[in-house]
Structure 1
Amino acid sequence: MSKSYAVLPCNGLDKCAGGISREVALVLSESTDSEIICPVFYRVADVRYNKLAQEKPLLVIDGCATRCASKLAAEKNLKIAEKINITEEAKSRGVALTQSLRLGENEMVMVKEIINKIAKEQGSPDQESDSISLPESLAYEVYKKDKFIFRVPKNSGFYFNENDVWVYVVGNKARVGVTDYVQQSLSDIMFFTPPALGAEIEQFEEVGNIESGKAVFEIISPISGTITAINERLLEAPELINQNPYEDGWIAEMELSDFASDKELILDFEGYFPVLKRKVDEFHV
């Protein structure tokens, strides 16, 4: 691994996930020219760390859903280059985090796997080269309720699940995102936790999450497949989802594994639009 980072880890050392976050940061600092930003000192003496975050790409390592490291980065207006969530990494690997503050064999194996993942992603080709292109012009059907406007794309290739997640399919590839109903319901979206590149996702499994001051929303995949790209712009600017969830605010891209079967359990525009209207009329405030 040649790339070095400014590493901002979780400060929750009273939890296993926080301990793993710290260990990943230590290994990176010992094996590369990466430097650790101490979250405690950063709150009281930020001049040195601001300079460090400007000189090196910022790697944020959150321990759990509280996302203390991400929130500190947002508070300091830092540009996040990469983000890791230890709890999500453990879940994807089937590792049950213990209550012990001492890292055991399973936790140390996970540390090595995360380091290897970071190194592998450094050598990955530019994911934009195979990125999916949406139609030049999206046609929307609009439903209004009070001051709120909810749009749903009508173009061929768009499908939806009843969890208000859309997918646009082109051949054996797909792009996934959340609908207007989600972003309107959450209001100002502040954090985005992406899925791992290369992760194999089953239909109706979580494919990342987004968070506002109101709630954390788990993004339920309408399809099964392998993650080939994430919208890295959302790491720095999750508000793009509020601005346009169907275009700049997309979540991830996938290579499909069994769309013929998946399609039977999701909705096209004609099927989803009545679902949206019912939800808006019954639940939206």
Structure 2
Amino acid sequence: MSLKVVVQSCCGPEKVYGLVARKAAWILAEQLKPGKVVFTCLPRMAHGDEEARKLVEENPCITIDGCANRCARSVIEQSGGKPIVSVTVVDVLKENRQLMPRIQHLKALDEKGLKLAERVAERLAVEVDYLLEE
């Protein structure tokens, strides 16, 4: 298997920043760096799934957390992975305050939330290039 970058986002159910984190991971893996970035499943990691554990042990990892609790990072570390890059949506939002998503809109992101997810993904795409030495 060729080296890929593993991206793990938080789940953050019913949390707008968790939704932004998941969308950013999808944008990174499916739109910006397809074939170079793969997802992991947070519940599989948390339950010690051997295939998921092997994936994070053998590849560089990026975590995208919604908040300072950094649940995605913690699960990756507990599973034997070492996050090379870790970002929180809140940190990116501090630099882009105009992109504050509507908190009450939890099933789908509004336009600002989508733009915030794009900013997170764009920042991480640069890191992916560096990690894969492109």
Shift of 1:15: 0.6
How far residue 119 of structure 1 moved from its aligned partner, in angstroms, is 2.5
Structure 1: state its 5+ residue gaps: 125-285
* Aligned counterparts of 2:112 and 2:4: Cα–Cα separation in 1: 26
**Aligned position for 1:230:** none
- 1:87 is aligned to 2:96: no
Name the SS of the counterpart of 1:82 in structure 2.
Answer: strand
Change (3 A) 1:120 1:35: closer
Aligned partner of 1:106: which letter?
K
**Higher RCO (C-alpha 8 Å, min separation 6):** 2
Q: Aligned to 2:28, what secondary structure does the other structure show? A: helix
**Aligned mates of 1:123, 1:35 — CA distance in 2:** 14
**1:93 & 1:115 partners in 2: Cα distance?**
14
Equivalent in the alignment of 1:59 = 62
What letter matches 2:6 in structure 1?
A
Task: Determine the C-alpha separation between the residues in 2 that align with 1:35 and 1:93.
Answer: 27
* Cα deviation, residue 76, structure 1: 2.1
| Closer/same/farther in 2, CA of residues 52 and 17 from structure 1, 3 Å limit | same
Deviations 1:48-70 (A, max 9, x none): 11111133210111111211112
Query: How far apart are residue 9 of structure 1 and its match?
Result: 0.7
Q: What is the rounded CA distance, in whole Å, between the counterparts of 1:104 and 1:62 in structure 2?
A: 19
More helix by percentage:
2
Aligned length: 122
Contact persistence 1:42–1:49 (CA under 8 A): yes
Q: Distance in 2 between matches of 1:97 and 1:110?
A: 8
Q: Residues 7, 92 of structure 1: CA spacing in aligned structure 2 closer, same or farther, 3 A cutoff?
A: same
Identify unmatched segments of 5+ residues in structure 2.
none
For residues 117 and 46 of structure 2, what CA distance do their matches in structure 1 show? Answer: 27
Tell me: CA distance 1:75–1:45, structure 2 relative to 1, closer, same or farther (3 Å). Answer: closer
Q: Write the distance in 1 (CA, Å) between the matches of 2:69 and 2:56.
A: 22
The normalised TM-score by structure 1 is 0.40
Task: Give the residue type in structure 2 aligned to 1:117.
Answer: R
In 2, distance between residues paired with 1:119 and 1:61? 12
Correspondences of 1:242-261 after superposition (within 5 Å): none
Q: State the shift of 1:44 in Å.
A: 1.9
SS in 2 for 1:71: helix
Instruction: Classify the secondary structure of the residue corresponding to 1:61.
Output: strand
Give the percent of matched residue pairs that are identical in Structure 1 and Structure 2. Answer: 25
- In structure 2, the CA distance between the partners of 1:4 and 1:24, relative to structure 1 (3 Å rule), is farther
Mapping of 1:175-194 within 5 angstroms? none
Q: Distance in 2 between matches of 1:62 and 1:43?
A: 15
**CA RMSD of the aligned region, Å?**
2.0
Structure 2 residue 126 is the aligned partner of structure 1 residue 120: yes
Match of 2:57, as an amino acid? Q
The answer to which structure has the higher strand fraction is: 1
Counterpart-to-counterpart distance in 2, 1:70 and 1:51: 16
- Looking at structure 1, the residues matched to 9 and 77 of structure 2 have their Cα atoms a distance apart, in angstroms, of 14
Kindly tell me: are residues 41 and 17 of structure 1, through their superposed partners in 2, closer, same or farther at Cα, counting changes over 3 Å? same
Q: Alignment partner for residue 77 of structure 1, among 77, 80, 97?
A: 80
Residue identity opposite 2:114 in structure 1: M
**Alpha carbons 1:10, 1:63 under 8 Å: kept:** yes
